[in-house]
Amino acid sequence: MSVFKGAGVAIVTPFHNDGSVNYEKFEELIEFQIQNGTDAIIVCGTTGESSTLTHEEHLDVIKFCAQKVNKRVPVIAGTGSNCTSTAVYLSTEAEKYGVDGLLLVTPYYNKATQNGLFEHFKKVADSVKLPIILYNVPSRTGCNIMPQTAVKLCTEVSNIVGIKEASGNISQVAKLASLAQGKVDIDIYSGNDDQIVPILSLGGKGVISVLSNVAPRQTHEICAKFFEGDIVGSYNEQLRAIELFDALFCEVNPIPVKEALNLMGKEVGPTRMPLSKMEDANVEKLRIAMKNYGIL
C-alpha cells in the first residue's frame, strides 16, 4: 500500500522575525491543510528549509507535526542528509515520533556514484521499519538517481517503496516506469507542480507539492479528478495554475511560497539566510498571479 495517494504538501516551516520556529503558526498551517483536503503532510523537506534547521530543531518540528496531525493524514518526515550517519540518526529518531514514512533526499555536494547512492539509501532504510520515499532533485544536489538505481533499490530493499521525481525529465520518469513494470511496484510522485498530470499519466501516485501550501484544495483536485477518470478536468486545473506555478518558482523555493503565504495573511515570517527577501518586481508578479488564480 502506498504511503499516500494524491496531493501531499511540502509544508513550509514558519519563523518568527528573530529566526526561531513559530510553532503557533505551524499548527495553524497544519490545520489549514487538513481542513482543505490535503492528502499528506511532508515536513522538513526542501520547502521546510531543513538545510538551515539545527538537528534539534529538525527533530522538534517533525515531532510537533506528527503530534498535531495525530494520524488524520499521513506525515512523511524529511530525514535525508549528505552524511549517511546523520541520515540514519534523523530517521531513527523520527520513527519514534510516529510518522508514517520518510523522505530521503539524494546526498548533496558529495556527488556519490550510483553504487554509493545504493549503499547510502540501503544503510538508512535498514536502520528503520518505516516506508521510504527517495527524493531525486539533481538541480539542487548535483546528483541524479538513475532509473536503474531506483528500481534496484525498490526491488532489493523492502521498505524503499517510492520516489519523488523532481528531475524535471519526463523521459527519465517514463524510463523508470518502464523498467519497474512487471518487476516491482514503485510509487512515483511528481516533485514539480507543473508536471503532476504528465506523471500521473505514467502511473504516478500523486505529487509532493509546493503549490499545496497556498492552494491545497485545488492541488488535491488535480489528482482526485485524474483518479476519478476526469482527465480533462484534471489537466484543465493543472493548466489554470501555470501562471501561479511560474510565479512560485521565479526565485528559488521557498522564497516565493513563503511570500505568497504572507500575502494571504498567514504570517509565516522570513526565510533563513542564505535565502533572501524576494525582489519587489517578483513580489508584484506573484501578487498578480495569485489574484488571477483567485486566492488573493
Mean pLDDT, to the nearest integer, of 192-208? Answer: 97
Q: Tell me, what's the pLDDT at 263?
A: 98
pLDDT band at 182 (very low <50, low <70, confident <90, very high): confident
Whether the per-residue pLDDT at 60 is higher than 90: the answer is: yes
Overall residue count recorded for the chain in this entry: 296
The yes-or-no verdict on residue 175 having pLDDT over 80 is: yes
Where are the alpha helices (H) located in 48-83, listed in sequence order?
A: 55-69
175 assigned to active site: no
Residue 220, amino acid:
H
Q: What is the mean pLDDT of residues 192-205?
A: 97
Q: Residue range 194-198: average pLDDT? A: 97
* Mean pLDDT taken over the chain: 97
Q: What is the arithmetic mean of pLDDT over 227-240?
A: 97
Residues 277-296 have a mean pLDDT of: 98
Q: What is the pLDDT of residue 286?
A: 98
Residue that the C-alpha cell 485524474 belongs to = 226
Does the annotation count 89 as an active-site position?
no
**How far apart are the C-alpha atoms of 43 and 38, rounded to whole Å?**
13
Catalytic residue among 5, 63, 152, 164: 164
Quote the CA–CA distance of 227 and 220 in Å, as a whole number.
11
Query: What's 21's DSSP letter?
Result: B
Percentage of the residues of the chain whose pLDDT score is greater than 90: 99
Sign (positive or negative) of CA dihedral 262, 264, 268, 271: negative
**What are the tens digits of pLDDT across the range 130-174?**
999 999 999 999 999 999 999 999 999 999 999 999 999 999 999
Q: On the CB side of 281, how many CA atoms lie within 13 Å of its CA?
A: 2
- Residue 221: phi, psi to the nearest 5? -70, -35
Write down the pLDDT at residue 30: 98
State mean pLDDT over 96-104: 98
**Is the separation of the CB atoms in 234 and 226 below 8 Å?**
yes
- The residues pairing with 132 across neighbouring beta strands, listed in sequence order, are 102, 160
Strands (E) in 166-255, as ranges, are 187-190, 206-209
Average pLDDT value for residue range 65-73: 98
Rg (CA), the chain: 18
Contacts of 51 (CB under 8 A, 6+ apart): none
Q: How many CB atoms lie within 10 A of CB 140?
A: 15
What's the pLDDT band for 1 if we cut at 50, 70, 90? Answer: confident
> Rounded to whole angstroms, how far apart are CA atoms 210 and 286?
14
Cβ-contact 168, 198 below 8 angstroms? no
Question: Which of 135, 189, 235, 293 is the catalytic position?
Answer: 135
**pLDDT digit string (tens) for 9-40?**
999 999 999 999 999 999 999 999 999 999 99
Judged against a pLDDT cut of 90, whether residue 93 lies above it is answered with yes
Residue 209 has pLDDT above 90, yes or no: yes
CA separation for the pair 106, 100 (Å, rounded): 20
Query: Residue 259 CB: number of other CB atoms within 10 A?
Result: 23
pTM of the predicted model as reported, rounded to 2 decimal places: 0.97
pLDDT higher than threshold 80 for residue 205: yes
Residue 229 is predicted with a pLDDT of: 98
All three cell numbers of 186, joined, read 514503485
